[in-house]
Amino acid sequence: MATASLYRRTLPSPPAIDFASSEGKQLFLEAVESGTMEGFFKLISYFQTQSEPAYCGLASLAMVLNALAIDPGRKWKGPWRWFDESMLDCCEPLEKVKATGISFGKLVCLAYCSGAKVEAFRTSQSTVDDFRKYVISCSTSDGCHVISSYHRGTFKQTGAGHFSPIGGYHAGKDMALILDVARFKYPPHWVPLTLLWEAMNTIDGDSGLPRGFMLISRLDRAPALLYTLSCKHESWTSITKYFVDDVPWLLKSEDVKDIKNVLSVILSSLPTHCREFINWVVEVRRREEDDDQNLSQEEKGRLAIKEEVLKQMQEISLHKHVQDFLSSEKSCRKTIFMRTENEDYLPGIAADVCCQGAGLLSGISCSSQFSCCQETGVKYFNVNGVKPVTMVSGTVVNGSGQQGVDVLVPSSQSELSCCGSGPTSDVGVYQASNDVLSLLTALLLALPPETWSGIKEEKLLQEVRSLVSTENLPTLLQVEVLHLRGQLQLLKRCVDDKVEEDLGAPLF
């Protein structure tokens, strides 16, 4: 039996006014004249249709992130870095979003994790006058955009909960322009702002909470450069709970006497799969034939910034304490961040990221289509004959051919490696042990400040607080740590099912 198909819907008017109708055009011209369509031009330049029926939230966010010129820091397809729905899988698996959509709170989380500044309000936390004020503010600027969560039924449209950006405002008629991302269903349309408020002031059946709106703008600072926390692995809930709940309890219950004791309590009990919890912000690129050592100026610039953050991480006192702790053979065996001594770490990473890279470059997720990942390896070469660069690489094979992918790795300074193996002879070449040290240091710095309050020895407590304080960190490293801390707090709210309620709570 053939499945019935649909070609668009007739827009119920009233209450909506088709943007392309004579009346809609006139409203647009009047709003442009009054200056309340400034945000429209950026949004319309990056307007997109949701690629799945339940992807309205992801499409709205991708559209706004691209309009704000927020760099995702990783490639989409070919050489292009670009936000696409397929890349917005941090706070909810795409398979789940495809089946049931995404909640208001999870979309807020996703916007933050994607590097945006977010202010979110449910209708129970705001008023229609507040909403109007925010719409006008964003409509008169191209540096802020509003995404509305509303019920279509209020506009006599088919469907239920929906997300779409607001493209502008007509002051005389008190109407908002909805840039509906379901363009296969309804075109952009003007609606009375008070009616839009009523559509938002409805209860979301899944969360039991009112819908609302969020203001998205650029951060004054860049998002994470080196590391990011991942909730893709199924163990992320237990790992998050360990760092936010269990570590403070362990420090309070143990009679720790010095920094080594503190590190032992935390690092010797790390949950399984901790390595998958904190990941590199890697740059995957398609390998060009016979030209894999040709880095663009842009790639060199980003690599240099990452290396500076890594250098700053390695220069702080906490990093030295972590190194001293891991330098004992006993500690190395107990710390699950470490691999076995004979395991070649970077090729393992190449195998891990190769398939993901192929998916980013081809737009297809890793599956049985790919034989992941053949011919993985590590290369070292000089840029301009001076600075050594480390690259992990691999080859993905599918039914139609093969594709080489490379991952640029920030080079580490020469240091003593774990288990007392002595300094490396390759100055500037990446060392696996240094990655472990920096990963662990970053995690410790990202823990909430109240983590350490259970330490009984006052002198030790002050020493620890001094070591983990972000106030005196270099700017680049401070940004990195605070972003990780914000991610950790958001993930904890997800674990506690509080992300839907605590939208306005500070992250750090």
- Give the active site residues: 56, 162, 180
Neighbours of 124 (CB within 10 A): 11
Rg from Cα positions in the chain: 25
As beta bridge partners, residue 371 has: 397
Q: Give the end-to-end CA distance of the chain in Å, rounded to a whole number.
A: 56
CA distance 212 to 124: 8
Between helices 475-495 and 104-113, what is the axis angle to 10°? 160
Q: Which of 147, 205, 224, 210 is nearest to 179 (CA)?
A: 147
Alpha-carbon distances, residue 505 vs 90, 121, 489 (angstroms):
20, 11, 10
- Determine if residue 290 is left, alpha or beta; phi over 0 gives left, psi from -120 to 50 gives alpha, anything else beta: left
Task: Check: CB of residue 36 under 8 Å from CB of residue 171.
Answer: yes
Q: At residue 116, what are phi and psi to the nearest 5 degrees?
A: -105, 160
CA distance 263 to 322: 7
Between helices 297-315 and 317-326, what is the axis angle to 10°? 80
Kindly give the residue spans of alpha helices, DSSP state H, lying in 169-296.
193-200, 236-241, 247-253, 259-267, 274-277
CA distance 281 to 284: 10
Cα diameter, the chain: 77
User: Six-digit token pair at 231?
Assistant: 């909730």
CA distance 28 to 157: 22
DSSP-derived secondary structure for 114-168: TTEEEEEEEGGGS-HHHHHHHHHHHHT-SSEEEEEEEEGGGGT-SSSEEEEEEEE
Angle at 35 between CA 32 and CA 40, to 5 degrees: 60
